[in-house]
């Protein structure tokens, strides 16, 4: 079974609180179970330490529509303690010097949620479970169940949404 954790933060890459702690530990613990493949996808913030940034490898470039305009993202990945971590890079949205507190946080995480679904669509490997975490990732579930509902290979994805506070 493949579980994709969608999160706005995860230790040690970027974190501001409890969500980062949970997403830093839970996938690693789950990945130790036989037959479970755990993956995490999160934004690539400019606050990530150089040692982690240097470990990233390019996966793909995405181009997709967000509301009225065409936009895009670059996906990178790294492996750590049995878990594959994917990072969504977009300079405009995620090079702000901090994770949250921007005037356009709603738009930033709508973009991130769309990029996650487009990555799954384009990259090919569909998770059995998509586990969205906190409000920043809630739209992944909504997009999956509405705008992408007619994509046959998405029909079997089970979704979990966890609020951490």
Per-residue model confidence (pLDDT) at position 85 = 98
Higher pLDDT, 123 or 71: 71
* pLDDT at site 87: 99
Integer Cα distance of 25 and 12 in angstroms: 10
**Residue 125: its pLDDT value, please?**
85
Confidence band, pLDDT 50/70/90 cuts, at residue 165: confident
Fold type of domain 2-162: Rossmann fold (3.40.50)
Query: Which residue shows structure tokens 């993956």?
Result: 39
Q: What angle do CA 54, 89, 20 make, to 5 degrees?
A: 75
What per-residue confidence (pLDDT) applies to 5?
99
Q: How many CA atoms lie within 13 A of 1 on its CB side?
A: 16
**Numbers of helices and strands, H then E, in the chain:** 5, 7
**How far lies 76's CA from each of 40, 58, 94, 96, in Å?**
12, 4, 14, 19
* pLDDT tens digits for range 99-148: 999 999 999 999 999 999 999 999 868 999 999 999 999 999 999 999 99
Per-residue pLDDT of 30-67, as tens digits, reads 999 999 999 999 999 999 999 999 999 999 999 999 98
Exposure string for 105-136, b = 16+ CB within 10 A, e = fewer: beebbbbbbbbbbbbbeeeeebbeebbbbbeb
Q: Flag the least confident range among 23-27, 66-70, 73-77, 130-134.
A: 66-70
What is the predicted pLDDT for the residue at 25? Answer: 97
CB burial of 19-47 (b: ≥16 within 10 Å; e: otherwise) equals bbebbbebbbebbeeeebbbbbbbbbbee
Confidence of residue 11 (pLDDT cuts 50, 70, 90): very high
Gap between the Cα atoms of 59 and 110, Å rounded: 21
Assessment of whether the complete model's pTM goes beyond 0.75: yes
């Amino acid at each position: 079974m493949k579980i994709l954790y969608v999160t706005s933060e995860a230790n040690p890459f970027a974190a501001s609180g409890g969500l980062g702690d949970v997403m830093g530990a839970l996938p690693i613990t789950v990945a130790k179970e036989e037959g479970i493949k755990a993956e995490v996808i999160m934004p690539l913030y400019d606050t990530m330490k150089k040692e982690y940034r240097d470990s990233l490898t390019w996966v793909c470039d995405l181009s997709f529509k967000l509301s009225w305009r065409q936009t895009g993202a670059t996906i990178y990945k790294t492996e750590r303690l049995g878990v594959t971590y994917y990072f969504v890079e977009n300079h405009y949205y995620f090079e702000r010097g901090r994770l949250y507190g921007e005037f356009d946080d709603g738009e930033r995480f709508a973009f991130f949620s769309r990029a996650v679904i487009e990555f799954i669509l384009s990259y090919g490997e569909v998770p059995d479970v998509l586990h969205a975490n906190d409000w920043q990732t809630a739209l992944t579930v909504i997009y999956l169940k509405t705008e992408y509902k007619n994509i046959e290979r998405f029909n079997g994805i089970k979704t979990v949404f966890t609020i951490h506070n």
